Amino acid sequence: MKYIITSDKTADQASDDFVESVSRNGFGVLHSYNLKEILTGKGFPLEPEVRVFEICNPARAAEVLASDMEMNMALPCRVSIWEKDGKTHIGMINPSSMLSMLSEAPELEDIATSVENTIKTIMDETK
């Protein structure tokens, strides 16, 4: 259900490389969150770096929504980059697992698998 890889890069470097790979692979970053900054700024200090990226391929998202509009609740795809035990981790919840639990539309399986494979490529390039 989850795909997580580790990197020797810092969270900052992995984040920069991730954004570049997203663009190279036909996706875009819609939004990013620095959870360490957000939580610390609200009085809840967080030591490790944690970044969350919302990414999307507009053509694939349109196909998902045309098939099952309720899947708007599962979009966009999220990828996190965080530090733990001296390593940087890059992870996502597999789109194929998520959509199969949320929709019975059979055509979503191929779309989700394609998106998942591309995001794995993006993550692997970031590593």
What pLDDT, in 10s, does the model give residues 8-66? 999 999 999 999 999 999 999 999 999 999 999 999 999 999 999 999 999 999 999 99
In the chain, beta strands by DSSP E: 2-7, 28-34, 50-56, 77-84, 87-93
Strand partners, 56: 28
Compute φ and ψ for 62, nearest 5 degrees.
Answer: -65, -40
In this structure, how many other beta carbons lie within 10 angstroms of the beta carbon of residue 37? 13
Q: Provide the CATH topology of domain 2-126.
A: TATA-Binding Protein (3.30.310)
> Rounded to two decimals, what is the model's pTM?
0.93
What pLDDT, in 10s, does the model give residues 68-102? 999 999 999 999 999 999 999 999 999 999 888 88
Gap between the Cα atoms of 88 and 49, Å rounded = 9
* Mean pLDDT, the chain, whole residue set: 95
